[in-house]
């Protein structure tokens, strides 16, 4: 099995409907970025003519909105018939020994294109953890790793053999073997360099029995990804609260919640002692000044109107305390709409982050603090 080395090559991941926007963000950083191959589920390989440290610095200085996750391609090899990908990856990791820091926590994160396989993604961790621990003195981990060993596996059907630049870059300029069934990309990086600690940026949560809506995952992910402060026993305002999912999460965080919506809340949520329900259009709700320690907004309305509601209620948020809101990306001009929303919010808020999170669909999440 021949292992090929790569420099300045990466795998990017975005919501499949917004891959073009993610690539546009990369080109704004480096105009000559070259997209190589595209895979299902918003995954693509690209080459960028920047030193790795410079590239990561630019990503930190200007965090992307739509590029959810990246990881480097340090090594690549082809899979022939009969080769078991987890076993082959365990052998190939030796070529990455100079990148693996001894005594540090390292997490194995494997992905593959959809299909039926005779192994699970956990098999990679099971095979690689002993090698990382015994041969490279790494400390196998799942959460809060210092480093991540990323693996992406594709079968040959996802790549056009005659057009693929992947098979003609790095050290493999002579092209792939005459017969191959798959391809494996491997790279070592930090969670910060990957833009997200979770594999592929897929922040997962277990569904709870009391969960009221899928939308709860959006707020949970915002608290996971962004450094949003939580004020225990503080006051929270939840605009557009129905059926009550975000209010439930705020209650779990220890807030006393005012939930506002024209539609009713779930009966179980509405009966919570630490919740006050106001049946009113959230766009027109007003309250006393400097009352709340956080304001959340998942209003399913026109984005500019939703931003106007935020600026109108801003005096009720204590200074330097956070807000979290979603912006629905509708139509082809969503980038212009997003710019309008940002300008509107910036009158009264410092925007700290904008990301299309894994649990966002055709929307982005914005968080910041009141000026």
Q: What is the pLDDT of residues 172-216, one digit of tens each?
A: 555 556 677 889 999 999 999 999 999 999 999 988 878 778 899
Give the separation between CA 315 and CA 123, rounded to whole angstroms. Answer: 53
Name the region of 72 (left: φ>0; alpha: ψ -120 to 50; beta: rest). Answer: beta
- Whether pTM > 0.85 for this model: the answer is yes
- The 8-class DSSP code of residue 3 comes to -
The pLDDT score that the predictor gives to residue 115 is: 85
Superfamily of domain 216-370: Vaccinia Virus protein VP39 (3.40.50.150)
Residue listed under structure tokens 């894994």 = 358
Degrees to nearest 5, angle at CA 361 with 357 and 365? 40
What are the residue boundaries of the structural domains of the chain, listed by start? 4-201, 216-370
> Is the Cβ–Cβ distance between 246 and 219 less than 8 Å?
yes
Each residue of 73-130: pLDDT tens digit? Answer: 999 998 888 889 999 999 999 999 999 999 999 999 999 998 888 899 999 999 999 9
- Cis link prior to 180 (omega < 30° from 0)? no
Average confidence (pLDDT) over 257-267: 95
Q: Are 296 and 277 in contact (CB under 8 A)?
A: no
Nearest to 157 by CA among 197, 200, 112, 109: 112
Q: Which residues contact 333 (CB under 8 A, 6 or more apart)?
A: none
At 6, the pLDDT band (50, 70, 90 cuts) reads confident
The pLDDT of 21-37, averaged and rounded, is 92
83: left (phi over 0), alpha (psi -120 to 50) or beta: beta
Strand arrangement, sheet containing 349-355: 275-279, 256-261, 235-239, 294-297, 322-328, 363-370, 349-355
pLDDT tens column, 224-260: 999 999 998 999 999 999 999 999 999 999 999 999 9
Cα–Cα dist 13/44, whole Å: 7
Give me the pLDDT at residue 206, please. Answer: 85
Mean pLDDT of the chain: 91
366 in Cβ contact with 310 (< 8 Å): no
DSSP 198-220: SGGG----PPPTT---TTHHHHH
Q: Are 41 and 162 in contact (CB under 8 A)?
A: no
> In 3-state terms, what secondary structure has residue 353?
strand
| Residues in CB range of 279: below 8 A, 6 or more apart | 261, 262, 264
The pair of three-digit structure tokens given for residue 253, joined into one six-digit string? 């965080």
Quick one: pLDDT at residue 172? 53
Q: CB of 238 within 8 A of CB of 259?
A: yes
CATH 3.30.2130.30, domain 4-201, yes or no:
yes
What letters, b where the CB count within 10 A reaches 16 and e where it falls short, cover 266-302?
Answer: beebbebeebebeeeebbebebeeeebbbbbbbbeee
Looking at residue 155, its pLDDT comes to 83
């Amino acid at each position: 099995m021949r292992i090929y080395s790569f420099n300045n090559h990466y795998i990017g991941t975005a919501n499949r409907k917004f891959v073009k926007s993610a690539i546009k963000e990369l080109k704004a950083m480096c105009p000559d970025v070259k997209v190589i191959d595209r895979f299902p589920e918003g995954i693509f390989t690209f080459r960028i003519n920047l030193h790795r440290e410079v590239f990561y610095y630019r990503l930190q200085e200007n965090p992307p909105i739509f590029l959810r996750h990246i990881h480097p391609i340090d090594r690549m090899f082809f899979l022939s018939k009969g080769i078991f990908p987890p076993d082959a990856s365990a052998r190939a990791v030796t070529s990455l020994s100079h990148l693996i820091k001894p005594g540090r926590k390292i997490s194995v994160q494997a992905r593959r294109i959809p299909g039926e396989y005779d192994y699970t993604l956990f098999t990679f961790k099971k095979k690689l953890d002993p090698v990382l621990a015994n041969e490279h003195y790494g400390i196998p981990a799942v959460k809060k790793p210092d480093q991540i060993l990323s693996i992406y596996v594709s079968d040959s059907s996802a790549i056009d053999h005659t057009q693929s630049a992947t098979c003609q870059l790095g050290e493999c300029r002579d092209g792939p073997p005459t017969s191959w069934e798959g391809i494996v990309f491997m790279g070592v990086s930090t969670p910060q360099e990957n833009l997200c600690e979770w594999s592929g940026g897929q922040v997962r949560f277990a569904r709870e029995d009391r969960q009221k809506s899928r939308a709860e995952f959006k707020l949970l992910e915002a608290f996971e990804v962004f450094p949003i402060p939580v004020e225990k026993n503080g006051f929270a305002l939840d605009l557009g609260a129905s059926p009550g999912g975000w209010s439930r999460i705020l209650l779990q965080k220890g807030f006393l919640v005012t939930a506002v919506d024209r539609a009713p809340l779930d009966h179980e949520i509405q009966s919570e002692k630490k919740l006050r329900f106001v049946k009113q259009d959230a766009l027109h709700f007003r309250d006393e000044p400097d009352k709340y320690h956080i304001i959340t907004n998942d209003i399913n309305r026109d984005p500019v109107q939703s931003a106007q509601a935020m600026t109108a209620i801003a005096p009720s948020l204590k200074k330097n305390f956070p807000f979290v809101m979603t912006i629905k990306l509708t139509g082809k001009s969503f980038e212009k709409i997003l710019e309008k929303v940002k300008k509107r919010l910036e009158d009264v808020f410092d925007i700290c982050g904008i990301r299309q999170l894994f649990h966002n669909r055709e929307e982005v999440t914005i968080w910041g603090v009141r000026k």
